[in-house]
Structure 1
Amino acid sequence: MRRLYRKKALSLVKELDAFPKVPESYVETTATGGTVSLIAFTAMALLAFFEFFVYRDTWMKYEYEVDKDFSSKLRINIDITVAMKCQHVGADILDLAETMITSNGIQYEPVSRSLSILLHTNRLWTLLLIQNRLREEHSLQEVLYKSVLKGAPTALPPREGTASEPLTGFHQCIAAYNFSHRIDHLSFGEEIPGIINPLDGTEKITSNHNEMFQYFITVVPTKLHTSKVSADTHQFSVTERERVINHAAGSHGVSGIFMKYDTSSLMVTVSEQHMPLWQFLVRLCGIIGGIFSTTGMIHGFVGFCFDIVCCRFKLGPYKPREVVLPDPHVNNCAAPLLTDNHVQE
């Protein structure tokens, strides 16, 4: 009974076989089929090779949520060069009520025309080129996120020279003022080497001694998680404005460089994503199976069309063959052979 049950089970399994085997004697190979197979195998190899590079690549995922951190302090990192002497320059940090928060932690250093400054100038020109490309190619920002800690810090090192006291009163001659400036570095939060901020390398030159430069900045808290670094930093967007102060023409205000920033209520989480191994294997199987099935259908369809054309115009294997028929006027009966007995008679 057990053997009978096993035979029935095996016969049932054989009937469910979705991959029936065809004897090799029933299979006919052709040159066109071999050519199509060669093309299919080449396409499989190339697509599998490129798919491996896609598997190794990563992409950045952006998630947005409400910023619930109200207790942390915002750190401001700034390095700016102004075309005036240090004793004519002063800097303060004010809140919305125009109350001074602090003026400590700001160092004033004279600019020296040394070789290191010339090297920094070349570096700033490179920053300007990158900034122009970032305005056109927004995907370059993801490349910068992936390459953090590979490049040099964007903030310039301390300059050589002695620090000077800032200006505490505005009793100097207006002709001594020149607010032409270059923002070497401006960032918020933790400094991350390799990240280029929107105002890094920005340069403004004016010949007017009574010019107002305004930068309206929106700071967005950002958490960066990549394979190389995990840090809490801040992105920001900026709108620039500049105008000449002329009270006679109705353009009122105070000349200087003003940076007004506001913190966004949204927080952005930027994380580096990688394709899982199972998804890579599924895509690889899809490539191989898809090419194999598609080339088989194309080969069968082309062969079907070829047979129709040949049958319609009597070409190739459908060309009529000439058949030689026997002539009825010719006696095809052969004369009987004479044997030795007939000769003797």
Structure 2
Amino acid sequence: MSGVLGKLKNLDAYPKINEDFFTKTISGGLVTIVSSIIMILLFLSEFTLYMRPNSVHELSVDTSRGETISIEVDVTFPFMPCAWLSLDTMDISGELHLDLDHDVYKQRLSASGTPLKEAEKHNVHATKKEPVHSTNASCMTCYGAQETEDQCCNTCDEVRSAYRKKGWALLTTDHIEQCKHDEYLDSIMDQKGEGCRMWGKLEVNKVAGNFHFAPGRSYQQGSMHVHDIAPFGDSLLDFTHTINKLSFGKPYPGMKNPLDGVKVKRPPVGVHGQITGMYQYFLKVVPTVYSYINNKTISTNQFSVTENFRESQPGPGKALPGVFFFFDLSPIKVVISEKKSSFLHFLTSVCAIVGGVFTVSGIVDAFIYQGEKIIRKKMELGKFT
């Protein structure tokens, strides 16, 4: 038995030194304190990393079909009144939604940017009264724009529609009896000089398309999408705006929407005087699935963006003023999964920290001790200068 214990004793890789041979120094105490602090900080850092899940990114082909995308948008227009704005969506599948009022809200703002009244749900029909009929006849004239002799235009909108079908421009409505009872025109004049904050939630098909804020009521004339800006006359349509929020789905940890908080001002006066035009945002939407460590998943989207401004030049064919968001879907899906490091990996890192700091501090302590020893010896010999 003693022979086995003797052989085991010979295997000791940590031979002990008699305490009589130890020399303790002030520098050694300082190195011990500093190395202990470093060791504790590194341990806490490693422990935090061990407790916090890591995000692993993977790419795959998006094979989903027939889904929709939820878009949350919140934009402030300091120089465009609420009555002047409309919000439309359209996509390459041919689906078109004009002047959206479902889950869309407006907040009227004063010239200084303060809210004028409580936020209200956008309702296109709120600015329309019941048709006002003439006392002499139940069928009012279309002012030469009727397609048949018995066609009636009992509202201002019906007159405008008849003019559009003829391809005529209705530049003024002063002579239109039906338009004298249209609250839409009254609100345009009443809100002149105000601003507007418009926000809401849009549900669109998971295909390429666009949504835009533009002036005037929107119509579909054949294959053309038309906005009636005649009621604004020569007024400057200043689409200076602030994008408070724009997202294409639910948020996930670490998600960043590049357009949140972006402020865009109208360009300075140009050759043609006051400049207005189309603010264009081209978005590349990437389907994203975030999987938590407890297997809970979130299906959402992230996006990148490029910007452009297209000036409205005088004359026909000019760009419609407004803020346009054109989005396209990426065929690649990003899958983000939370993973937690194993305990063995954590234990290995802790051992590396302890051993590494202990070894380095021993080297530093030995260097300081030998330096002090050499300097002290030279001082004793009077050779230190």
TM bucket by the smaller chain?
Answer: 0.5 to 0.7
2:62 to 68, 73, 78: 68
Distance 1:28-1:198 versus aligned 2 partners, 3 A rule: closer
Q: Which runs of 5+ in 1 are unaligned?
A: 1-5, 120-157, 320-345
Cross-structure match for 2:248: 188
Cross-structure match for 2:167: none
Larger RCO (CA within 8 A; separation ≥ 6): 2
Distance in 2 (alpha carbons) for counterparts of 1:24 and 1:268: 62
CA-CA distance at 1:276 after TM superposition? 4.6
Q: Which amino acid aligns with 2:245?
A: H
1:266 counterpart = 2:258: no
Q: Contact (CA 8 Å) 1:86, 1:109: kept in 2 or not?
A: no
Higher strand share: 2
Give a deviation string over 1:149-205, Cα, whole Å, max 9, x none: xxxxxxxxx923662347244262443562514433321123569966222333444
Give a deviation string over 1:3-34, Cα, whole Å, max 9, x none: xxx34433322222212233344x2434x2x5
Q: Which amino acid aligns with 2:87?
A: A
Cross-structure match for 1:289: 355
Q: Which runs of 5+ in 2 are unaligned?
A: 126-215, 220-227
Q: Which amino acid aligns with 1:201?
A: G
Distance in 1 (alpha carbons) for counterparts of 2:282 and 2:326: 5
Distance in 2 (alpha carbons) for counterparts of 1:304 and 1:81: 70
2:217 to 147, 160, 167: 167
Highest CA radius of gyration, 1 or 2?
A: 1
Q: Which amino acid aligns with 2:237?
A: N
Give a deviation string over 1:294-336, Cα, whole Å, max 9, x none: 333344445445666677x5x64x89xxxxxxxxxxxxxxxxx
CA-CA distance at 1:81 after TM superposition? 4.1
1:213 to 279, 299, 313: 279
Give a deviation string over 1:25-63, Cα, whole Å, max 9, x none: 4x2434x2x540442244213431353145225475351
Distance in 1 (alpha carbons) for counterparts of 2:275 and 2:292: 46
Structure 1 vs Structure 2: percent identity of aligned residues? Answer: 25
Distance 1:106-1:177 versus aligned 2 partners, 3 A rule: farther
Distance 1:163-1:290 versus aligned 2 partners, 3 A rule: same
| Secondary structure in 2 matching 1:218 | strand
Higher helix share: 1
CA-CA distance at 1:217 after TM superposition? 0.6
Distance in 1 (alpha carbons) for counterparts of 2:358 and 2:19: 20
- After TM superposition, the score normalised by the length of structure 2 is 0.55
Cross-structure match for 2:159: none
Q: Which amino acid aligns with 1:11?
A: G
CA-CA distance at 1:259 after TM superposition? 1.1
Q: Contact (CA 8 Å) 2:290, 2:297: kept in 1 or not?
A: yes
Cross-structure match for 1:9: 4
| Secondary structure in 2 matching 1:10 | helix
- Count of residue pairs the alignment pairs up: 267
Distance in 1 (alpha carbons) for counterparts of 2:106 and 2:36: 64
1:233 counterpart = 2:292: no
Distance 1:185-1:22 versus aligned 2 partners, 3 A rule: closer
- After TM superposition, the score normalised by the length of structure 1 is 0.61
Q: Contact (CA 8 Å) 1:84, 1:177: kept in 2 or not?
A: no
Cross-structure match for 1:199: 259
Distance 1:91-1:24 versus aligned 2 partners, 3 A rule: closer
Q: Contact (CA 8 Å) 2:280, 2:307: kept in 1 or not?
A: yes
RMSD of aligned residue pairs (Cα, Å): 4.1
